[in-house]
Amino acid sequence: MDPTKTLKQKLSNLTVEHRQLDDKISGLLETPPFDQLKIQRLKKRKLLLKDEILTIRNQLLPDIIA
C-alpha cells in the first residue's frame, strides 16, 4: 500500500477521533456535576491526538525551504 495513502487514512481517523472527543467533552460540561478527572483525561487524549495530527500533516506537507 502507498505510504502517503496510509498516512492520509490515519490522519482522517485521528481527525474524526479528535472531533468526537471535543463533542464528548462539551457534552460532559453541559451536565453537572462534572467528572473533572474524566474531563482532564479526555483533554489530555485530545492534545495527544492533536500532536499526532500535526506530525502526520508535517510528513505529508513538509516545509519548503526557498
Over 80: is that where the pLDDT of 66 sits?
A: no
The backbone region for 3, taken as left when phi is positive above 0, alpha when psi lies in -120 to 50, beta otherwise, is alpha
Task: Convert the pLDDT of each residue in 16-61 to its tens digit.
Answer: 999 999 999 999 999 888 889 999 999 999 999 999 999 999 988 8
With 0.85 as the threshold, say if the pTM is over it: no
Task: Indicate whether 65 pLDDT > 70.
Answer: no
User: Tens digits of per-residue pLDDT, 1-15?
Assistant: 688 899 999 999 999
